[in-house]
Each structure stands twice: as C-alpha cells, then as structure tokens.
Structure 1
Amino acid sequence: MTHTADPIVISGMAVEAPGGIDTLAEFWSALADARELIGPFPRNREWPIDQLLSLHRTEGWGRVCDAGGFLSGATEFDPPFFGITPREAVAMDPQQRVALRVAWRALENAGINPGALDGAEVGCFMGASINEYGPASSAVTEHTGYRVTGTALGAIAGRISHGLGLVGPSLTTDTACASSLTALHLAANAVRAGECEWALAGAVCVMGSPAAFVEFSKNNALATDGHCRSYAADATGTLWGEGAGVVVVEHESRARELGHRIYGRLLASRVNHNGKGAPIAVPSASAQQRLIEKTLSASGIRADDIGMIEGHGTGTPVGDPLELAALARVYGGTDRETEGPLLGSVKSNMGHAQAASGILGLIKVLLSGVNGQIPASLYADRPTTEIDWYTTNLRLATELEPWAAIDGVRYGAVSSFGVAGTNAHAIVAMPVLEDHQPRTTPRRSDV
C-alpha cells in the first residue's frame, strides 16, 4: 500500500480503555496528564485471585501483582439496543459486546448514522485473540446453542457486520499482539482494491480468564512491581491490560465529499514474519528492521520526517532492546542537524492490551496530531542502557511536548509485534489544517 493521489484516510475513531475511558476526549486527557490507568484485578469475573497472587511461592514461577489495565465496563451491555436477546448476550464473548459499541461510536464520530447502513458495501476488519470466556463449548449448560457464535473469533467482526447490516468483507484476524495493525492493513488494502467502498478497522481485548497472567508467571516475564515500564532501565516484564479501538477508513476524496473530518492519512502499512531461527516467541530485530524499512519506502517520506514513534514497548528486558535496535537503525542516525523523533508507548499508561495494543497506539498518535503535542511515556526518566540514546538520536518522551509540523504536516509511526512472530508497522500523516478538538458522542454507560 503506497501513498497515492487519493490516499486512504482515517475519518472517524472511538476507543475504550481502562479507567472508565470511553471517549476520545477522556483518552487524550489521560495521555496528556501522564496518568497511569492500572487497577487491581476485577472481583466480578470469578477469577481465582488468591491462587494467582500466590503462584510465586511455587519454585520456578514469577510474582503476579494484583494489577492490570482492566475495562471497568466490560460487563455492561444493552442487548435490545443491538437487537440481541439477553440469553444470547450472556453467551457472547465480552469482546463481541465491547467491539459492537466501540464500532458504533466510531461511526458516530465520523458523522455516519450507524442505523442507516443496512445493505452497505462496507468492510469490517477486527483483530482479536481467544481469551477463554465462559465454560467449555462442549459443556451442557443453559447457554448451549449460543456457544458456537458466542465464542468464535470470526463472530467479533461478524457481529458488527450483522448488527449494522454491512455486506462487505468481514473478518477477524489473530496475529497476537500485531492483530490490530494487521486488521488496519487488510482494511486499507480492501478499500484500495475496491472490495468495499469503505471499512471499519480495529481490535478488542477483554480477558475472559487470567490465562495470560498464569502463562507469563511461569515464563517469569511479568512486571514484578505492577507497572509496565516501556524502554526503562528498571523494566522487569510486561503487565497485561485490556482495551478496544475502531477507526473508519476510506479514500480521502470520499471523506471530503461527505464532509468527514480527516484525522490522518495512512501513508503505508506492512506486515511480515520473523521466520526461522530463535524460538517463536522471541522477537527479531532484523525482521523488524526489514519491516520498518519497507513501510518507510512505501510511504514516500524520509526517516527524519517522522516526529513521533509509538513503539510496541512491552517492558520486557528481551523485547524492548531488540525493538530499539531496529528503530535506531531506521529512524536514528548521527547525521541529523535537529533532534530525532520522540518515542513512547501507551502500554506504560494502561498495560499491554494484547490484540488491541496497536490500535490504541495509533489512536494515541492521531490525537497527538490533532492536539499538536506528544504525550509523555511513563517511567521514561531512566531509559534502558541497552542502546546509546545519544548516538542513535532517538528520544524517550518524558513530558508533554509540542509537535512541530513539516510543511504543514505531522508524521508518525506505529509498531506492533506478535508473540507468534508477526510484525506490523504503519506510517500516518496528519495535516495541521485538520486540527480541531476531536468530536465526541454522548456518554452511554451501556451502549
């Protein structure tokens, strides 16, 4: 996908994040104020919390802190609003419920009536991973009969398309933590190829069980202090979180014809894989570098045009240095007369939202473009010593800083890397002329 005379643009978006955030204004406020949105484990999901917090007492297991970035509204839903019976709604993976309402808000944010799309050639591309909601599908319960659609990953995108009456391509993609940028890449390609007139793209993560905490406790890869310290010297591991984001993608000519606001142009996106070599879960700096170079080449801009990089930044002692090495080789360098790009990760605010992490990072970049400021990345005051920050010319964002435009445009980059070896990168351009406060919709606690 390359920059053309009629580029793909993002003309609407919506988000749900920890801390009760369900509007763009709330999301930006949390970022601008450098707030951490981490809280204790939810006590209404029937998780074995006492067992989780004592796993470290078993030899070879790491500590699980009573902390994570959890959606406070994950259990809230209004089934009749979406034409769903209460019995079916209970059997639905909460990821379907959250995705439905965030998609609705993204359409409203773009100025599109969600209730007037029946039969529209609109695509829906969502990233998500299995998160173990409810009993096994083979168990005979009062919800048997709804479990197939209630637990199928394909039903996350399918539920949105069905609820809105969209007849374009509809698919859920699972490339682990790279899922949301992969979904964006597929959506933009589909619009460009004429498979659909426009599309929804995004991702969702709601943990139906604490499986991710158990797995990373066994692997000793969880943060030992309950904080996600992206790119920090004292990072000890990642911290899991939840979230959802959906964007509207279409050709710029269509957006302008219909009066949709333009948050940014998607100049390029690319997806690749690590290939053979190290164990499948170990990141590859060389693969990430190849990906970033190809995305940059397709974007039509130079490396030193990039002013903001939203990195993956899981806070793991292995992953962060490898990612930084790849970023430094492409976006760093020693021949610049000006300061290099500011780097950060939204994971430092709200934990690692897994399949949804990339879309939350993208929305952070787009809101930074709207507001002309780059938020601080938390815990960046003591950056890792695994790279030489001075010679690479990369900078960690330690405070809210102005974001200067280049000839009226701000350029940003976003990375996501999946545990199964898939990598994704995207580059966006945000014209200053589009600057104004993000449109927000009326707050609904149950829609």
Structure 2
Amino acid sequence: MSSPSVAVVGLDCVFPGAPGPDAYWDLLMRGGDATGEQPGPRRFGPGYETPVHGGFIDDADVFDNDFFTVSPREAAAMDPQQRLLLQCAWRALEDSGRSPRSLAGGDTGVFVGMMGSEWGQLHLGDYGRVTPQLGAGSSAGMAANRISYHLDLKGPSLSVDTACSSSLVAVHLAVNSLLSGECGTALAGGVNLVLTPALGLVYAQMGLASPDGRCRPFSADANGIARSDGVGVVVLRRLEDALADGQRVYAVIRGTAVNQDGRSNGVTAPNRHSQREVVAAAYRRAGVTPDQVRFVEAHGTGTALGDVIECGALGEVHGVPREEPCAIGSVKGIFVVLTEGALGHRRADQGGARA
C-alpha cells in the first residue's frame, strides 16, 4: 500500500522563450528553440568580451516593488533571483485558487532551491558599497525568507543548494513537511540567473560546456552543458486536503527520495549505482513498479559522462518485462515524448528523484 500523496494545486514559471506556464507548454509542444546570445544589458563587462550562448529570460530586472511594499533602495539591492521568486510565488498561489493574503499568519512553508548567488559575487566584493540592504539582498537564505516575510507565512522557510538538484530536493523537503503535518500548504521552487561567466568557464575547463550553448540530452550530437535562466514555483497540499477543498489538481506526487553519489571517480562525477538506488527508493515509497512507468523526465546533462551513466542506471531499473516501452527525455533539449497519464520521475546530480 502506497503512502499518502501530495497534490500540485498551483504553479507558475518564467523560462527562456516562455514567460508563463501556457507559453512554456506551447514551447514544448512545438519543439521551440529558446537558446540565444545573452541580452545586451547583461554583458559581462570589461575583461570578458566573449559572447555567451545559453537560455536567457527577458526583463529579468523588472520588479513591481510598490506591489510588494519594497522600497526602491531595497529593491535595487535585491538579487534579481529573489525578486523573480517573490513574483512567481504570488502568481502560483493565485493559480491555486487562493488569495495569497488568505494564507497570512498560517503555517505555509517555503522551500527554495538555488545554486549560489552570482549577484553576491558581483556586489559584495566592493566593500565600500556594502549596505545592510545589499547584505540581505545577496543572501541565499533570504530567497525563501522574503516570500515568507512579505506574505506573512509562518511555516518552515529555507533555501537549498545541492547543485543541479536544488529545486528537486526543495520539493522533496516540502513533501515531507506536508506529510509530517509541519505545514498545511507548501511553496516549492527554484531559480537561476546567469549573471557572470564564471561557472561557464569552470564547465569549459572541465570539458563539460557546450560551445554553442545548446544542450542535447542523449543525442549522438551532444556536446555539453548549457547554462540557462529560469524560475518556477509549485503550490503543494496533501491530496486529501486539496480534494476536500475542491482545488484543481495538476499532478500527484506519490513518493520522493534523495541520496548522494558517495565515492565515485571524482567529487563532481555521478555514480550509476547511487542513481539506480534512488530511483528504486522513490518507486518503493510511491507504491509503483518500474513496469508501470512509461515516461522518464531525466536530468540529461548532454555530456558523454553524465548521459551514459544516467541511461545505464535507468536501464537497470526499467529493463524489466513490460507491455509498453519506457520513453526517456529531458526538457533541456525541448525534444520530449509525452504520454497521457504517465507516471514519471526526475533524477538530478545529487540524487533526487520523485515518482
């Protein structure tokens, strides 16, 4: 018998070429191309003139500070990732059919995944210009705390950095918080903005960066990782509570699991056996068997090392007698296979999976 489930009752997102959920769905359905050169206002400045290709969102700096009662000075010092999350969380709550203000004073939790803060790297090194507003505006923890503060939410509020799996682990923690009774509603999401070329240079030196900024997961033409902007938030509730309140249910999370690679051939290298085990653990907790899974939304780094290991791990789990083949895809490359009513899971670098 499977454990209690969690419902996705609201969502919002902004991704390259897709300023909202409907636009994102359209982008996926038509196999659109959301990659390009970094916007002019976001040039990295003297010392780095090489154009950077990847996925970039428009108007990442636009923020209605008056709506959130944030002073212009404070808004100017805030990491744009914090501003994007705050706006996205508000829209996701509205999408769930509940006024964000109706949750004020309650136990709603906020769980945010974000991989570092390039805003802080850019601004905190100039010691003569450091201010309290900049300190709070550059804090990764504040990415979640601002949502809780401005909406007066008193449940757990935390930011998670587990590299590429940060937002997935945030969902895992939110699900556990809901099922333990720690909160009645949870906001879970992630954000990333490419503001410096530093991480791209690291990937390039490791031989992992796609020269043209295009990620081609599981393709013979795959040539590396592509960096991208994006923000997304989902509203989660226990399934029984969502149904009792008549809320729309987008999807049901039946089980989650998280692990770590442990020892591999390098601290940044994945481990096939750990990937296999975390997927199997998610299925056990969900009460499903691999032969029931018809589509896997994979991590899909587009690297020779990562894709081979991930496919090997997924093959070990799903290579069982089945009536239908199991499709594998990754939205990083836009080319996806969708099966109506399919169960799925995701796996990211540090071992998160859900079913």
**Structure 2 length normalisation: TM-score?**
0.95
Asked whether 1:425 is paired with 2:353, we answer yes
- Provide the secondary structure at the position in 2 that maps to 1:71: coil
Matched residue of 1:256: which SS?
helix
Distance (Å, rounded) in 1 between the aligned partners of 2:264 and 2:231 = 33
> Is 1:303 aligned to 2:290, yes or no?
yes
CA spacing shift, 1:238–1:114, aligned 2, 3 Å: same
**After superposition, what is the alpha-carbon deviation per residue over 1:192-230, rounded to whole angstroms, capped at 9, x for unaligned?**
111111111111111232222121122221112332111
Contact 2:259 2:278 in 1 (8 A): yes
- Contact persistence 1:91–1:143 (CA under 8 A): no
1:202 is paired with a residue of what secondary structure? strand
Aligned positions, number: 354
2:6 corresponding residue in structure 1: 8
* Whole-angstrom CA distance in 1 between matches of 2:208 and 2:297: 22
Q: Does structure 1 retain, via aligned residues, the 8 Å contact 2:213–2:227?
A: no
Tell me if structure 2 keeps the 8 A contact 1:154–1:171: yes
**TM-superposed deviation, 1:255:** 0.8
Partner letter of residue 255 of structure 1? A
Q: Percent identity?
A: 34
Q: Which residue of 2 aligns with 1:34?
A: 31
- How far does the alpha carbon of each residue in 1:74-109 deviate from its partner, in whole angstroms, 9 at most, with x for none? 111111111111111111111100111111111011
**Contact 2:5–2:255 (8 Å) recurs in 1:** no
Cα distance, 1:411 vs. partner? 1.3
Partner of 1:113 in structure 2? 99
1:147 deviates by: 1.8
Residue of 265, 272, 275 corresponding to 2:252: 265
> For the Cα contact (< 8 Å) 2:10–2:96, is it kept in 1?
yes
Counterparts of residues 15-26 of structure 1 (less than 5 Å) = 15-19=13-17, 21-26=18-23
CA shift for structure 1 position 258: 1.8
Partners in 1 of 2:195 and 2:76 — Cα distance? 13
Tell whether 2:272 aligns with 1:340: no
The residue aligned with 2:148 is 161
Q: Amino acid of the residue matched to residue 264 of structure 1? A: A
**Residues of 2 paired with 1:138 and 1:218: CA distance?**
24
1:143 shift after superposition: 5.8
Report which stretch shifted further, 286-295 or 255-264: 255-264
CA distances 1:396-421 after superposition (whole Å, capped 9, x unpaired): x4xxx6x254xxxx31222221xxxx
* Paired residues of 2:106 and 2:155 also in contact (CA < 8 A): yes
Q: Which amino acid aligns with 1:340?
A: P
Question: 2:256, 2:353 within 8 Å by CA — same for their partners in 1?
Answer: yes
**d(CA) in 1 for partners of 2:255, 2:340:** 21
Residue 138 (structure 1) shift: 5.1
Distance 1:189 1:69 in 2: 32
Q: Does 1:204 align with 2:191?
A: yes
1:150 to 137, 158, 162: 137
Query: AA paired with 2:44?
Result: W
SS, match of residue 174 in structure 2: helix
User: Which of residues 206, 212, 220 is equivalent to 1:219?
Assistant: 206
Corresponding residue number in structure 2 for 1:72 = 58
Q: Distance in 2 between matches of 1:183 and 1:79?
A: 26
Contact 1:87 1:143 survives alignment (8 Å): no
Q: What do the CA deviations read for 1:118-154 (whole angstroms, capped 9, x no partner)?
A: 2111000000021321544253455622122111110
For structure 2, which runs of at least 5 residues remain unmatched after alignment?
none
Partner residue, 1:89:
75
What letter is aligned with 1:12? G
**Distance in structure 1 (CA, Å) of the matches to 2:139 and 2:189:** 17
Could you tell me whether the CA contact under 8 Å between 1:204 and 1:243 is conserved in 2?
A: yes
Q: 2:233 is paired with a residue of what secondary structure?
A: strand
In structure 1, distance between residues paired with 2:138 and 2:340: 46
Matched residues in 1 for 2:83 and 2:243: separation? Answer: 31
Amino acid at match of 2:10: G
Q: Distance in 1 between matches of 2:47 and 2:154?
A: 46
SS in 1 for 2:118: coil
TM-score if structure 1 supplies the norm length?
0.76
- Segments of 4+ moved more than 2 angstroms: 48-53, 134-143
Shift of 1:158: 0.4
- Mapped pair 1:290 → 2:277: yes
CA RMSD of aligned residues (A): 1.8
Is the CA contact (8 Å cut-off) linking 1:199 and 1:250 kept in structure 2? yes
Report the Cα distance in structure 2 between the residues aligned to 1:226 and 1:49, rounded to whole angstroms.
22
Q: Given that residues 52 and 214 in structure 1 are in contact (C-alpha distance below 8 angstroms), is that contact kept between their aligned partners in structure 2? A: no
Is 1:233 matched up with 2:232? no
Secondary structure of 1:98's partner?
Answer: helix
- Structure 1 match to 2:243: 256
Range with greater deviation from structure 2 (6-15 or 172-181): 6-15
Residue aligning to 1:47: 44
Task: Provide, for residues 345-394 of structure 1, a one-character-per-residue CA deviation record: whole Å limited to 9, x for no partner.
Answer: 11113xxxxxxxxxxxxxxxxxxxxxxxxxx33xxxxxxxxxxxxxxxxx
Quote the residue 1:443 is aligned against: none
Give the secondary-structure state (helix, strand or coil) at the position aligned to 2:2: coil
Aligned CA distance change for structure 1 residues 271 and 252 (closer, same or farther; 3 Å): same
What one-letter code is carried by the residue in structure 2 that aligns with 1:38? T
Contact persistence 2:8–2:237 (CA under 8 A):
yes
Which structure 1 segments of 5+ residues have no match? Answer: 54-64, 350-375, 378-396, 428-447
CA distance in 1, matches of 2:225, 2:49: 16
Q: Would you say 1:411 and 2:339 are equivalent positions?
A: no
Q: Distance in 2 between matches of 1:223 and 1:312?
A: 16
1: CA distance, partners of 2:47 / 2:226: 18
TM-fit CA distance, 1:332:
2.5
After TM superposition, give the deviation of residue 7 of structure 1 in Å. 1.9
Amino acid paired to 2:108 = V
Distance change >3 Å, CA 172–CA 235, structure 1 → 2? same
Give distance in 1, aligned partners of 2:210 and 2:345.
26
Query: Is this contact kept in 1: 2:298–2:329, CA < 8 A?
Result: yes
Shift of 1:169: 0.5
Equivalent residue number for residue 441 of structure 1: none
Give the distance between the partners of 1:67 and 1:46, measured in 2 at CA: 11
| Structure 1 letter corresponding to 2:280 | E
CA distance in 1, matches of 2:84, 2:2: 32
CA deviation profile, 1:229-283 (whole Å, cap 9, x unmatched): 1100111111111111111111112112222101111111111011123211011
Q: What is the match of residue 353 of structure 1?
A: none
